[in-house]
Amino acid sequence: MSEQTKAAAAISDPGENGRAEHNRGDRLTVQLGNVAAWLFPVLMVAICAQVVLRQAGHNQAWLDDLQWWLYGAAVLVGIGYAVVTDSHVRVDILYDNFDRAKRVRIDIFGLVWLFLPFIILCWDVTLDYALTSIRAGEGSDSPNGLHNLWILKSFMNLAFVFIAIAVWSTYVRLLGDLTRPVLWKQLFWAFPSVAYAVNLALYYALFGFFYLTRGENTSSRDVGRLPVFGELEFGAHDMRYTVLGALILTVLLIAVLRAVAPREA
């Protein structure tokens, strides 16, 4: 396939961009993105149908809800697709003039030092958002709207996991341009994201353990007030014990993986 043909294919289908270098996570993201793309024609039909019905005096609230459902699902999946295929909008006028290695370093910094921590934060925030909706059996505000709103909110939380997978797979692929992406190097170069994920895992593990072992009358608020979830003060600054523990665990994990990794030739 000629370079012009490859360029044309990449324009018509961004999933073809760099396909030969795609790993499993990349391919999964592209495949799900291609499926989610079919939500947009359905969305267009729903919008047009609602406009016609509303003008005819037969407003359908469930069509309004359906539009939000379809748009939200398609956009969230599209974020991961755009990351993998590098089809998102760039506003950096200097980036294109840098050499390949420098562009890769910038991409890695943006992905796992800035973007992935934000995605992990979104997952954490929407987890309670989804669980609360499930417990309440949340539905539409309109009597004839789409109910079971908890489905959409649960999907929102899962979508951030999908985006995180897309970001990580892209990051690993880019890291391969700079060095052999063995596990300890993956964790080291993505230290902020890894430390944040370890912090959440440690927090939820401790919270769940104490909540389940301290008796039936223990509330979530009681668990949150335990000393283990307190703060370590040093001067004018403070740090939660779980954050400090996560930093130590992350460093130890990277060190252990580095020690057991096969020596590079």
DSSP letters of 44-81? HHHHHHHHHHHHTT---HHHHHHHHHHHHHHHHHHHHH
SS3 content of the chain, % helix, strand, coil (to 5): 75, 5, 25
Average pLDDT over residues 46-61: 88
CB proximity list for 149: less than 8 A, separation 6 or greater? 133, 138, 139, 140
pLDDT bucket at 158, cuts 50 / 70 / 90: very high
Q: Give 176-192 pLDDT, tens digit per residue.
A: 999 999 999 999 999 99
Supply the pLDDT for residue 1: 46
Domain ranges for the chain, please list them.
15-179, 182-265
d(C-alpha 18, C-alpha 20), whole Å: 6
Whether residue 163 is predicted with pLDDT greater than 50 in this model: the reply is yes
Q: Give 190-219 pLDDT, tens digit per residue.
A: 999 999 999 999 999 999 999 988 877 888
Among 232, 52, 200, smallest CA distance to 122 is for 200
Supply the pLDDT for residue 215: 77
Q: pTM to 2 decimals?
A: 0.88
Percent of the chain with pLDDT over 90: 62
